[in-house]
Amino acid sequence: MNEAAPLTVLIYYQNEKRAEEVRSLVARRFPQLTVRAVSARGDAEALVEEADVIAGWGFPTDLLARARRLRWFHKFAAGVDDVVAAGTLPPQAVLTRTDGRVFGRRMAEYVIAYMLAHSQNVPRILRQQAERRWKPFLTTTLAGRTVGIAGLGDIGQEIVRRAAALDMRVLGWRRSAGDVPGVERMYAGREEFHEFRGQCDYVVVVLPLTDATRGLFDDTAFAAMRDGTYLINVGRGPVIQEQALLRALESGKLAGATLDVFDVEPLPEDHPFWRMENVIVTPHMSGPTVAEEVTAPFIENMERFLAGRPLLKQVDLQRGY
Ligand code: GLV
């Protein structure tokens, strides 16, 4: 590449410490670049027009419309729904996302942990302990139960391997057909969604938010599930219609849910999920950000970018991931 002036890279995280951690990892690896860390909207606004590359999480997407030099926008996340929906990415810029394998191990352990929390009824045990009540009860096993994983990208596939190791029967659902190792049967597309969800004791949602997945889990979807199914959502809140989920939980159609993602985050204080005994709420933390972990694939891609080679994990804007 013919670089007259050094490339300017903007690293954005609202958390200043994290922005600085990532900035220093990138700057150390590429001393020839001008790498800046920003955390406030005002600072991003002041620098956006000079940026050749922006990499961040939660970057104010409206500002992208002013990024006239931008050639590459990278998100330190597996999901890029906010950037795609904003439609503000300048046409000359490519969009990349973080390889799901960065979060996959942690997210798969989260899913296994909360499936076990439901099968062992950990919430009930904690309540009993708080009341010093000695009252044995019968728990269930994951072995022999069916888990359906909706979304079989890098993260979903990590979950498959762990669930299969616990002797669960694993089914999968995704947009397009094709076998996945460890999955007994794959279902594809809206037509097969009904059949998929009717067979599961646990449904795990790892789907990206796209036009095709928004509101996918509605009243009809819940009605078609087995009585007593547990739902775990680590994808995006709006893939599930919250009111329909509330109805399914209140009626006992669903036995319980663990939710890491919501329509509105942080989950408002007065939201009913907070006080439902059969719901476990976690604050969008199943795939946490560890600076070294999220920066590694960005650095690998920066090497490609500087060498003029195609970037990995480029987002297809039509498809949305
Ligand atoms: C987090 O939500 C992510 O998309 O990686």
pLDDT of 197-215, one tens digit each?
Answer: 999 999 999 999 999 999 9
Check if 271 is active-site. no
Confidence of residue 312 (pLDDT cuts 50, 70, 90): very high
Say if residue 1's pLDDT is above 80: no
pLDDT at 5: 77
From ligand 1's centre to the CA of 77, what distance in Å?
4
Which string of b and e fits 265-298 if b means at least 16 CB within 10 Å?
A: eebeeebebeeeebbbeeebebbebebebbbbbb
- Positive or negative: CA dihedral 19, 20, 21, 22: positive
Give pLDDT tens digits for 135-162: 999 999 999 999 999 999 999 999 999 9
Q: Could you tell me where the DSSP H helices lie in the chain? A: 16-29, 41-47, 81-86, 101-119, 122-130, 154-165, 189-197, 219-223, 242-250, 291-306
The encoded tokens of residue 255 equal 């036995």
d(CA 135, CA 133): 6
Give per-residue pLDDT as tens, 17-54: 999 999 999 999 999 999 999 999 999 999 999 999 99
Cα–Cα distances (Å) from 288 to 260, 282, 285, in that order, read 11, 12, 5
For residues 78 and 267, give the distance between their C-alpha atoms in angstroms, rounded to a whole number. 21
Per the prediction, the chain carries an average pLDDT of 97
In the set 74, 145, 197, 236, the catalytic residue is 236
Tokens of 198: 């009717």
Catalytic residue (choose from 3, 49, 195, 265): 265
pLDDT tens readout for residues 281-296? 999 999 999 999 999 9
- In this structure, the residues whose C-beta lies within 6 A of any atom of ligand 1 are 77-79, 103, 287
**Rounded Cα–Cα distance for residues 147 and 187 (Å):** 13
Contact 174, 152 (CB under 8 A): yes
Distance 142 CA to ligand 1 centre (A): 27
**Chain segment 162-174, per-residue pLDDT in tens:** 999 999 999 999 9
Point out the ligand 1 atom lying closest to the alpha carbon of residue 103: 5
Please tell me the pTM assigned to this model: 0.94
* Per-residue pLDDT reduced to its tens digit, 103-128: 999 999 999 999 999 999 999 999 99
Q: Is the pLDDT of residue 241 over 60?
A: yes
Q: Who contacts 32 (Cβ-Cβ below 8 Å, separation ≥6)?
A: 6
265 counts as catalytic: yes
Residue tagged active-site, from 185, 284, 293, 300: 284
Q: What are the C-alpha distances in Å from 263 to residues 7, 106, 237?
A: 37, 23, 5
pLDDT value, residue 4: 63
Q: What is the 3-state secondary structure (H, E, C) of 243-310?
A: HHHHHHHHCCCEEEEEECCCCCCCCCCCCHHHHCCCEEECCCCCCCCCHHHHHHHHHHHHHHHHCCCC
Check whether 258 has a pLDDT greater than 80. yes
